[in-house]
């Protein structure tokens, strides 16, 4: 019998308990020994809950119980999760987490502490909800030199953009509806400004290079400025608009960014709609591979946490491979990276725009008073200079 504690009985935490109960047979077979939930840490009481007798308000009870071998940290946030996780690992208890903020901020330190104490810090649920992506990166693509990761890593923004595209509705309207449905938080900033996706691409990129890519260094732009007019242009040229989180390695140099992109129908991420997420990984031998599934939600995320519990259960006292050093990677600024841009200018600037950008592909979207086009490939710096000179309505990058 392997004793487990769940820290945080919110959405994901209660999902973890539900998954362990519902799929007991499969999970115990794969763990090699039955999994038992001994404690659930939460500030609240849950009278009438079938697990009410497991609730404790005192973290010391868990940390001091030598029977507890695995902890699911589903509290979120840095405080007190960081302190609890650190102390658990120092006492040789493995920790499985869905807490992307903690992983993006203290990942390498916590992994190191785990390995020094012959236990593990696993975080499959921190990126892509239920999509297996951390394990494929760490265990499957081991013969590859990975040079590019491109993902749709946030369910809320993908739901909003998909809905804007499908219904022709405006951003504010769709956001409001998403909030009513519980797909977006009342304060949606972390999602719509791209901060959530930024932390997730920081984690994936760090695993790609084996060092630390600080999320604070990643250029991040949200979706709040995307309009129905942008989608009209996208439709007119057979594309759609997605919030992409990407990182690239070129000649040993790295860059990463989160921003809305126009992508075409032939792009594997084109069909990723609604609350689904996906990650494209490019390796030098395999080329592109893609991992797709539900990027959030109680049970998918909990399933990922429990898959980590199974892995820890099979490796009690043993270290599971994970290469993520504390050494920081210096990121190249995106100024020198190149791409095409979709640009909107007032109709009276049509000639000037063609003069400034030289080669443009005009998009016939019948938007009154405007001229919309896609530029040739150029660096962000070049683009900014030209666009600044010209005075544009807006621009979206093209992938």
| Among positions 45, 225, 264, 323, the unique one binding a copy of itself when judged by CB under 8 A | 323
CB of 264 to a copy of itself, least distance (A): 12
User: Which residues in 31-70 contact a copy of itself (CB under 8 A)?
Assistant: 31-32
Contact call for residue 287 and a copy of itself (CB under 8 A): yes
Q: Give 117's contacts (C-beta < 8 A, 6+ positions apart).
A: 89, 90, 91, 92
Q: Which residue has the tokens 């057979």?
A: 238
Q: Which among 120, 2, 7 is positioned nearest to 62, based on CA atoms?
A: 7
Half-sphere exposure (Cβ direction) of 73: Cα atoms closer than 13 Å: 33
For residue 228, count other CB atoms closer than 10 A to its CB.
15
152, two tokens: 């749709």
Contact stretch for a copy of itself (CB under 8 A) within 84-92, 104-112, 248-256, 293-301 = 293-301
Q: Does 136 bind a copy of itself (CB under 8 A)?
A: yes
With binding defined as CB under 8 A, does residue 288 bind a copy of itself?
yes
Site membership for a copy of itself, residue 139 (CB under 8 A):
yes
Q: What is the CA radius of gyration of the chain?
A: 23
Q: From 98-106, 182-190, 229-237, 310-318, give the range in contact with a copy of itself by CB under 8 A.
A: 310-318
Task: Take residue 125 and report the two structure tokens written for it.
Answer: 């649920």
Q: Does 145 bind a copy of itself (CB under 8 A)?
A: yes
Is the Cβ of residue 59 or residue 209 nearer to a copy of itself in the bound state?
Answer: 209
Phi/psi at 139 (nearest 5 deg)? -115, -25
Residues 173-232 that bind a copy of itself (CB under 8 A): 210
In sign, the C-alpha dihedral spanning 240, 246, 250, 255 is: positive
Burial zone of 369 (CB within 10 Å; 0-12 exposed, 13-18 middle, 19+ buried) = exposed
285 touches a copy of itself by CB under 8 A: yes
List the end-to-end C-alpha distance of the chain, in Å, as a whole number: 50
CB nearer a copy of itself, residue 73 or residue 380: 73
Q: Which of 38, 54, 200, 349 is catalytic?
A: 200
**Catalytic residue list contains 181:** no
At a CB cut-off of 8 Å and minimum separation 6, what does 328 contact?
Answer: 211, 212, 213, 214
CB 94 within 8 A of CB 121: yes
Is residue 29 close enough to count as binding a copy of itself by CB under 8 A?
Answer: yes
- Residues in the interface with a copy of itself (CB under 8 A) total 53
Q: Which residues are within 8 A (CB) of 116 and not within 5 positions of it... i.e. 6 or more apart?
A: none
Q: Which of 21, 26, 83, 250 binds a copy of itself (CB under 8 A)?
A: 26
- Binding a copy of itself (rule: CB under 8 A), the pick from 37, 90, 141, 381 is 141
Cβ–Cβ under 8 Å, residues 171 and 226: yes
Catalytic residues: 200
- Binding residues (CB under 8 A) for a copy of itself: these are 19-20, 22-23, 26-27, 29-32, 124, 130-132, 135-136, 139-145, 210, 268, 270-271, 278, 283-294, 299-300, 302-304, 306-307, 309-311, 314, 321, 323
């Amino acid at each position: 019998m392997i004793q487990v504690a769940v820290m945080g009985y919110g959405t994901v935490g209660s999902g973890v308990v539900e998954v362990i109960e519902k799929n007991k047979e499969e999970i115990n077979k794969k763990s090699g020994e039955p999994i038992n939930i001994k404690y659930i840490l939460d500030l609240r009481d849950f009278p009438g809950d079938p697990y009410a007798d497991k609730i404790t308000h005192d973290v010391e009870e868990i940390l001091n119980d030598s029977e507890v071998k695995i902890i699911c940290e589903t509290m979120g946030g840095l405080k007190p999760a960081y302190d609890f996780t650190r102390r658990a690992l120092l006492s040789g208890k493995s920790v499985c987490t869905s807490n992307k903020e903690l992983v993006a901020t203290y990942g390498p330190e916590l992994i190191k502490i785990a390995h020094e104490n012959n236990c593990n810090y696993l975080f499959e649920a921190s990126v892509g909800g239920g999509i297996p992506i951390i394990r494929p990166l760490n265990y499957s693509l081991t013969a590859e030199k990975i040079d590019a990761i491109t993902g749709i890593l946030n369910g809320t923004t993908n739901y909003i953009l998909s809905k804007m595209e499908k219904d022709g509705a405006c951003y504010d309207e769709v956001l409001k509806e998403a909030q009513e449905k519980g797909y977006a938080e009342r304060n949606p900033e972390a999602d719509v400004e791209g901060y959530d996706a930024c932390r997730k691409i920081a984690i994936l990129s760090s695993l790609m290079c084996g060092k630390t890519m600080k999320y604070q260094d990643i250029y991040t732009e949200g979706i709040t400025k995307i309009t129905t007019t942008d989608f009209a242009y996208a439709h007119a040229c057979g594309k759609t608009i997605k919030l992409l989180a990407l990182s690239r390695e070129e000649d040993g140099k790295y860059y990463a960014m989160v921003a809305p992109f126009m992508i075409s129908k032939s792009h594997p991420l084109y069909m990723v709609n609604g609350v689904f997420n996906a990650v494209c990984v490019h390796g030098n031998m395999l080329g592109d591979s893609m991992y797709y599934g539900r990027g959030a939600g109680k049970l998918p995320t909990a399933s990922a946490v429990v898959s980590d519990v199974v892995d820890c259960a099979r490796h009690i006292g043993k270290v599971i491979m994970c290469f993520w050093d504390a050494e920081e990677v210096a990121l190249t600024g995106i100024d020198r990276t190149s791409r095409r841009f979709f640009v909107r200018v007032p109709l009276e600037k049509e000639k000037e725009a063609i003069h400034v950008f030289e080669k443009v592909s005009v998009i016939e979207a019948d938007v009154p008073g405007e001229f919309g086009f896609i530029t040739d490939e150029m660096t962000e710096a070049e683009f900014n200079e030209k666009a600044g000179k010209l005075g544009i309505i807006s621009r979206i990058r093209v992938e």
